[in-house]
Structure 1
């Protein structure tokens, strides 16, 4: 089974959604996740400026060959109170276009028992609200902070069975040099979306490079995902918003295709 390729607009933060869709069509990519648009990570505000309403966006998107499968909020599950209001701002837009997931960060630095208890409580609160309001979109937790390492991530997946995970496979590998296939074997049942990227050793630790030019073991991971017939998006998260010195996302997508990287 071929993987469902996707990319995050973190890699093209200055583009409008219309321009993002044109880029996806150019590269034969049928799915995108929204993290930034027209120079801002306030995606609801940028969608309002471009389309006016969720209904107008849905009407336009229905004529396109690209789906919006996820949107990235800035809410954090651990630490400070879970900001449901931040997540709710995205819901009308996600519901209108049939997006599957709204990303929230994990937060924190080291996974604690308090974090686990809070996660259970906050995810239950979200589930209750979702069911009462009849929403189809759900939240997924990105492995960004406390969950970036293999061991706490595996523990979290065991102890919080209602968690739905956006796994940044590169970051877990780069932080602990753990074989992604080992991590995958422990968390696969919880993963609903995946971020991938490539990097190479550098004087400061590691540096992002074009897909296929680094040493992230994408080939082995891809084979495992294809063998298991994963149905979720595998998304190139090209972090150009945070690292503007990187080549364009257009170049990164071309490199990924040319090298059969993903």
Structure 2
């Protein structure tokens, strides 16, 4: 049933009640204004007529009520869904507090603590067996790699050797208090390498090493990488780990 038809039924019921009220009010008025000397038959006729009108109005009212109830029961129009009304609320309604914001089912746990930054460990103190221990130097305010290189290695151009031995540092910004391993001077290193080429020796792998790089550094050429691999039975050259100890074979050099 449409909205207009409902309003029609409401108006009709209202009219019926008005008729009943007028009928009852009319009966009371007639009963008051009827002279006491009115004929008894006339008064009985008026009373009977009033009762008939009242009964007819009552019957009509009950019939309309039953029809209205049936119409309400059979009304196919969808009823408002309170949930849908909530879903139609805008974000502004939630901000104004008209509808409570949905509660989250999850409980936030404690904030995860940031993992501490782990710096790469410095290279082994003595990667080439037989050499004296590497010198250690603590960075002071104002230090640069070139100045440190000139001080310990005799030339500012040797600073890259310091970086190779300390891969954890930032060459552009040295942190005060950082401990650096200082490589051996080239003359000392060269004397020892000549001895290794004649008699062989051992070498401890550092971060970034490869067989070719080790061969060139210790034996003077990358072509000796195959001999180092054979001497150590290396299955996979990509799996060299810092701390691995390699046997360096003696080689014939020109």
Same fold (TM over 0.5): no
Could you state the TM-score of these two structures normalised by the residue count of structure 2?
Answer: 0.19
More strand by share: 1
More helix by share: 2
Query: Could you say which structure has the greater relative contact order, defined with CA pairs below 8 angstroms and 6 or more residues apart?
Result: 1
If you compute each CA radius of gyration, which structure gives the higher value, 1 or 2? Answer: 2
